[in-house]
Structures are given as C-alpha cells and as structure tokens.
Structure 1
C-alpha cells in the first residue's frame, strides 16, 4: 500500500478486514485515502475505487463455489498507533472475528 500526499493510494495484495479476511482474497488497485479524527484517536480511511487484480492467500481455504465474487471496490479503516518498541507510527486493522483482537499491521517499506 502506498499513500501519496495528494490523497491517492496504490493498493497491492491487501487482505480484507474483519470477517472478510476469512474469504482469502487479496485486492490490488488504486484509490483514495483520508486521515480522520475519531473518538479515541485517528483513523486512515482507505477506499479502493478501481480494482486491478485479485489474488488468494496460499493459506486460505479453497474457494467455495457458492462464495461471492471478491468486491470490485472496498474500504478499510486503519487505526493509527505508536509502536511500543520503536515508538514509530503504525497503521493496522483488525481481521477475523473483531472480538479476537487479531491485528494486521502495515510496515513501512524503503523507497
């Protein structure tokens, strides 16, 4: 995922959040992002507006014939927090059962 200063975004192989994670698809494409203040902190809202590719996670279960087609547009809400060890900003969302507290943390790439 690349968040550009102009509010546009490039999404590469990003899994679904919450229960959508269980579907096993990964989406790529272009979209937009916005940093918003919410109760308890800040959230990055990412919207995939043009899907260019769909992939499956290797560990995902085989697709069910009755499963829905992966979405052509999608949105994520990334929570903004500080890494406890290095005190750097990090973005994450919850996946699987929201009560489970599983986090999908984005890491900063070089370049």
Structure 2
C-alpha cells in the first residue's frame, strides 16, 4: 500500500478513535470515588468529633466521648445507598489516621429500627432484610471555618456522590 497524505490522516483518525474509546472505558472503570485517597486532614481529635451530627430527612448520629454511638436513619454507603434502607440503633465509633487523612469508623452493633427512603431507586434485593449490623467509614474534612465535616461516597463510584454529615451547633454561653 502506498502511503499518501489521505491514508496517513485516516490512520491517525482511527488511532484517535481507539484512544478516545480506551479513555472512556478507563474512566467508567475508575471513577472518582474508587481512587479517592483522602482529605489530607490529620489534626482532628476524638473530642472534636464527639457530638451530634446531622444530614437530610432526620438522619443523625451521636458520637459520645466514651466511643459509643447512636445512629438514627443513616443511609448505606456505596451501592448499599441505592437499596434505600436507613438504619437506626447503637454502636461504637473511633477516629483513625491513614497516610491520606483521617477517617472515622462507625460500627452499628445493635439495630433498633429500619426505615426506607421515599426516593429509593431499587427494591430490596430478593426482598431481603437490611443488615442487622453495619460499618461506615467517613472521610474527615474541614470546611472554610475549619470545622469538621464527615462524609462517605454513595451510589455508583463513577458518580462521586457524597453523603455529608455536619455537626449540630452547640449552645454557647455569653460571657
């Protein structure tokens, strides 16, 4: 085959299409949440994390200084979020450090209730019951005021959607 300018350009376009396809497929396999390392926060203390944390639709968790916790209507993480169940009960929590930043581990050890989100997109698998125990791993971050924020990823990892918990303001006394 004689190489002409037209043949060379068609060949380059063909390679470009293959490269674009590979980039697209790689992006689908490795979404933002799959390789998220962490926030880089290393200065949070257990005393700072203890308190009442809230999110949408009545979700709350109380982290006590003694390491015990109460969970109210907390959604599942990752793909469990799509099943739509929300767990309530008692458990334990701890703050730990990784090279990429701190995380907060929350373990539900005694389920006391189950709710279902109205917007749940998937029915429970095989009509199964939500878990009786469950573990969450929250990333620890700071907002613009340097206050702690806790979050985990929900749904499809390619979407990078986060479930954010914010600390309930504590009452302050005037001097």
**Number of corresponding residues:** 110
Q: Contact between 2:105 and 2:135, CA under 8 Å: does it hold in 1?
A: yes
Match of 2:86 in 1: 26
C-alpha separation between the residues in 2 aligned to 1:11 and 1:105?
15
**What are the ranges of 5 or more consecutive residues in structure 2 without an aligned counterpart?**
1-60, 171-175
C-alpha separation between the residues in 2 aligned to 1:18 and 1:64?
15
Match of 1:104 in 2: 163
C-alpha separation between the residues in 2 aligned to 1:62 and 1:102?
17
Structure that is richer in helix per residue: 2
| Counterpart mapping for 1:59-78 below 5 A | 59-61=119-121, 63-64=123-124, 66-78=126-138
Shift of 1:110: 4.1
Write out the 4+ residue segments of structure 1 that deviate beyond 2 Å after TM superposition: 61-65
Aligned CA distance change for structure 1 residues 63 and 90 (closer, same or farther; 3 Å): same
Q: Does 2:163 match 1:95?
A: no
**What are the ranges of 5 or more consecutive residues in structure 1 without an aligned counterpart?**
none
Q: Which has the larger radius of gyration?
A: 2
C-alpha separation between the residues in 2 aligned to 1:95 and 1:78?
11
Shift of 1:109: 1.8
Q: Does 2:106 match 1:46?
A: yes
Shift of 1:22: 0.3
Match of 2:76 in 1: 16
C-alpha separation between the residues in 2 aligned to 1:46 and 1:29?
12
User: Helix, strand or coil: the match of 2:158?
Assistant: helix
